[in-house]
Amino acid sequence: ETGVTQSPTHLIKTRGQQVTLRCSSQSGHNTVSWYQQALGQGPQFIFQYYREEENGRGNFPPRFSGLQFPNYSSELNVNALELDDSALYLCASSRPQGGADTQYFGPGTRLTVL
């Protein structure tokens, strides 16, 4: 167990709806990264938050947005859901240590879009 938690575990939505996924980082970690993992593929970087500011973004459209809170927990919001958004969403927390930080992952949220 890494100490990173995510909720909910599973979620079913219909196309066009909006969804919010939540992540609690490991104690002492101030950075949260979000990844999308389609079935049978490796995770793809969505974005990262460091001290409540976005600190890098992957090749995802603006309908993917996020927040980080003062306690360093984070949310991933996806608007106007599409069928291709069906995936496992992983968050990872870390604490920058001069570049030597390692990301620790949560168990993920499985999103199904019908």
Contacts to another protein by CB under 8 A: 1-2, 31, 33, 35, 40-45, 48, 50, 55-56, 58, 88, 90, 92, 94, 96, 99-108, 110
* Cβ-based nearer residue to another protein, 71 or 102: 102
Q: Report residue 65: phi and psi, to 5°.
A: -135, 165
d(CA 31, CA 15): 31
* Cβ-based nearer residue to another protein, 48 or 68: 48
Residues 46-50: contacts with CB within 8 Å, 24+ apart? 46/76, 49/74, 50/96
* Cβ-based nearer residue to another protein, 13 or 110: 110
